[in-house]
Amino acid sequence: MTEYGKALSARSTTIPGLTIWELPVHGDNRGWFKENWQREKMVAAGLPDFGPVQNNVSFNDAIGTTRGIHAEPWDKFVSVATGRIFGAWVDLRAGPSFGAVFTAELDPSRAVFVPRGVGNAFQTLEPNTAYTYLVNDHYSPEASYTSVNLADETLAIDWPIPLAQAELSAKDRAHPRLDGIVPVMGRKKLVLGANGQLGKALRDLYSDDPRFDFAGRAELDLATGDLDDAFRWRDYDTVINAAAYTAVDAAETDRGRSEAWAVNVTGVAALARVARRYDLTMVHISSDYVFDGASDRPYDEDHPVAPLGVYGQTKAAGDQIVQTIPRHYVVRTSWVIGDGRNFVRTMMSLAQRGVNPSVVDDQFGRLTFASELARAIRHLTDSRAPYGVYNVTGSGPATSWADIARRVFALAGHDPDRVTGVNAERYFASIAGPVAPRPRNSILDLAKVHSVGYQAGDVEAMLGCYVRGESAAAER
């Protein structure tokens, strides 16, 4: 019998993420009323803000009607409109709780939140039972649906009405046993810009993880701004945006300015809309170029932005957009070195070819190796650090570009005195074509990222490994 007057409350179960909800039902001589779904109150009480898009009702004539056990690639909030059921839930997700079973009776005053990948089944205990569920995705023939047999002996579900006497569909009777199904994988993560220096480092870091998909520009070009149908976004919980327009000097031209804004702002805004719609965590890579470099101290995450050039302006604008997403990490970095064209490789080539370079000696910062940046992203997302902006670079003393060039020469077995230091004004005056203004101070304060348990690797040690062609992981 429906219990009236309960307070809204939730309790956890033996299946991670599966929660039972006690619902306030108000009754009088006319019948009863309840708020079956009340986003503000339920989210405040601990229900994930799972964004339902469809409401379904299953009506069942007879006592003993039994349906399930079905796991769909979406979350469900299940409630009874009239009647009473015996519910059974089986964790079909890959992981240590695979095969865990939980059962409970539901009536109009008790509901259940069923996370993606948990099998859902019920048996009616009263005639004319209506079973309702809110879901946060629409049916798709391309999606994967996993089911397990209601009579599986290893699950040992104690059905109130024996299945031999129950009303079942032929399809439900034919579902495989638990040992014959492939566990449901968790929602995946998508890396955009997967062919750049950071993208390649993320590929290396997650090469053996089937939950990661990687997309280069050929698979998704942020400049198009049309992202809604680019992927089945409901299959993902995180998107790491390593794609960007990074031609700093070319951005000062008419064409480059347009392209930089198209990718770094318009494209990021389109991606942010997708993230909000599908409740994705978005990891976005920012730059020291959002600052003017005039500060006499390292820049922390709260320092006001003041970009000098077009590239910095577009990155600052993109950062602001991403920070409107509830679940976001803006990872601000500087002087990235990875697998591709970069300053260190240029210096190594010049040293080997006998060229004695002039290098800027009045701009200061720290190198960030792409492998280190990828490791920081993994730490933030895996540890579920508080959302927000984080500075990430290598650790150690700040240096000038000229200091780094001399160290590269020495590590490569060449005379570091072959490198001549010059100020930025003199250096860039000798270059034909547009030149973007650069911040003189690119030093980023690392206190915040250290406070969430991440320790940046030492730049000197990683630079040595990079020049020698070794993995920097050995230095940690």
Question: Which residues form the catalytic set?
Answer: 70, 133
Max CA-CA distance within the chain? Answer: 96
Query: Rounded CA gap, 242 and 44, in Å?
Result: 34
Round the CA-based radius of gyration of the chain to a whole number and report it: 28
Residue type, 279: D
Q: Is 80 exposed, middle or buried (0-12, 13-18, 19+ CB in 10 A)?
A: buried
* Beta bridge mates, 90: 101, 119
CB 292 within 8 A of CB 306: yes
DSSP state of 65: B
31: left (phi over 0), alpha (psi -120 to 50) or beta: left
Query: Rounded CA gap, 115 and 122, in Å?
Result: 16
Q: How many CA atoms lie within 13 A of 153 on its CB side?
A: 0
Written as one string, the DSSP assignment of 348-387 is: HHHHHHT---EEE-S-EE--EEHHHHHHHHHHHHHHTPPS
* Beta bridge mates, 16: none
Instruction: Single out the residue of 297, 324, 469, 475 nearest to residue 391, CA to CA.
Output: 297
Q: Is 353 exposed, middle or buried (0-12, 13-18, 19+ CB in 10 A)?
A: exposed
SS3 track for 122-179: EEECCCCEEEEEEECCCCCCCCCCEECCCCCCCCCCCCCCCHHHCECCHHHHCCCCHH
Query: Rounded CA gap, 292 and 307, in Å?
Result: 5
Instruction: Single out the residue of 148, 122, 119 nearest to residue 64, CA to CA.
Output: 122
Residue type, 262: A
Query: Rounded CA gap, 296 and 398, in Å?
Result: 13
CB 4 within 8 A of CB 11: no
